[in-house]
Amino acid sequence: MTKADIVNEVSKNTGIEKVTVQRAVESFMESIKDSLMKDKNVYLRGFGSFIVKKRAQKTARNISKNTTIIIPEHHIPSFKPAKSFVGKVKANVKK
């Protein structure tokens, strides 16, 4: 499902114009990005958490050149789904 599909679905379900829904979806995503860039996690009950994870410094190897490099400590965004959400997905996804 793409962002356009989400906009269409929300517009169809609520009766709100697509342009307005698109602005709301864009604003929602910008709010999440801004919060994560400020090292603030976003918690949505029943859905999940957008969190910032810290990756420790590590040593990596370039096998073809037989060299090692140090990858510095860094932060990455991550999503952790809520337990209830995971349970619903497991129960409903056809294998």
Q: What is the pLDDT of residues 50-75, one digit of tens each?
A: 999 999 999 999 889 999 999 999 99
| Count of domains forming the chain | 1
In a domain, 53, yes or no: no
In a domain, 22, yes or no: yes
In a domain, 87, yes or no: no
In a domain, 33, yes or no: yes
Q: What is the pLDDT of residues 39-51, one digit of tens each?
A: 999 999 999 999 9
Domain of residue 2, residue span: 1-38
Contact yes or no for 85/48 (Cβ under 8 A): yes
Cα–Cα distance, 42 to 34 (Å, whole number): 10
In a domain, 48, yes or no: no
In a domain, 25, yes or no: yes
In a domain, 14, yes or no: yes
Other C-beta atoms lying within 10 Å of the C-beta of residue 81: 15
For the cut 90, the answer to whether the pLDDT of residue 92 exceeds it is: no
What does pTM read for this prediction? 0.78
In a domain, 2, yes or no: yes
Q: How far is CA 31 from CA 24, 45, 61, in A?
A: 10, 17, 37
